[in-house]
Amino acid sequence: MERIGIVSPNIDITVELLSKSVRRKGHTPVYINPLEFSVHIGREKPSPSYPIDMAIIRDVGGVELGTEGVSFRFERLREMSSDIPVINPPDSILVCANKYLTTSLLLSYGVPVPETLLTQDTNEAIEFIEECGDAVVKPIYGYKGKGILRFRPPVERNLLESILKQRGVLYLQKFVGSGKGDVRVFVVGKEVLGAVRRIPSNNWISNLSQGASPHPFDVDDELVDISLRAKEAVGIEFGGIDIIYDSEGIFVLEVNATPSVRGLYSVGIDPSDKILNLLLDRG
Ligand SMILES: Nc1ncnc2c1ncn2[C@@H]1O[C@H](COP(=O)(O)OP(=O)(O)O)[C@@H](O)[C@H]1O
Ligand SMILES: [Mg+2]
- Over the stretch 25-49, which tens digit does the pLDDT of each residue have? 999 999 999 999 998 888 766 555 7
Q: What is the DSSP string of 8-23?
A: -SS--HHHHHHHHHHH
Q: What is the pLDDT of residues 214-260, one digit of tens each?
A: 999 999 999 999 999 999 999 999 999 999 999 999 999 999 999 99
User: CATH 3.30.1490.20: which residues of the chain?
Assistant: 116-174
pLDDT at 42: 80
Provide the pLDDT for residue 50: 85
Please tell me the distance between residue 143's alpha carbon and the centre of ligand 2 in angstroms.
6
Helix (H, G, I), strand (E, B) or coil at 38: coil
CATH 3.30.470.20 residue ranges of the chain are 96-112+178-281
Domain 96-112+178-281: state its class: alpha beta
Q: Which residues make up the CATH 3.40.50.20 domain(s) of the chain?
A: 3-86
Give ligand 1 pocket residues (Cβ under 6 A): 114, 136, 138, 142-146, 148, 173-177, 182, 204-207, 242, 244, 253-254
Determine the atom of ligand 1 nearest the C-alpha atom of 184: 25
Burial 249-259 (b: 16+ CB within 10 A, else e): ebbbbbbbbbb
Q: How far is it, in rounded angstroms, from Cα 273 to Cα 215?
A: 22
**pTM, two decimal places:** 0.96
The atom number, within ligand 1, closest to the CA of 212 reads: 27
Q: Which residues of the chain have pLDDT under 50?
A: none
CATH number of 116-174: 3.30.1490.20
Tell me the HSE value of 73 on the side-chain side, using a 13 A CA sphere. 23
How far apart (Å, rounded) are the C-alpha atoms in residues 277 and 56? 11
Contact 99, 148 (CB under 8 A): no
Mutate to test the pocket of ligand 1, among 95, 134, 182, 241 (most ligand atoms within 8 A of CB): 182
Please write down the long-range contacts of 224-230, taking CB distance under 8 Å and 24 or more positions apart: 224/192, 226/111, 226/112, 226/250, 226/252, 227/185, 227/187, 227/192, 228/187, 228/190, 228/192, 229/109, 229/110, 229/111, 230/106, 230/109, 230/111, 230/187, 230/255
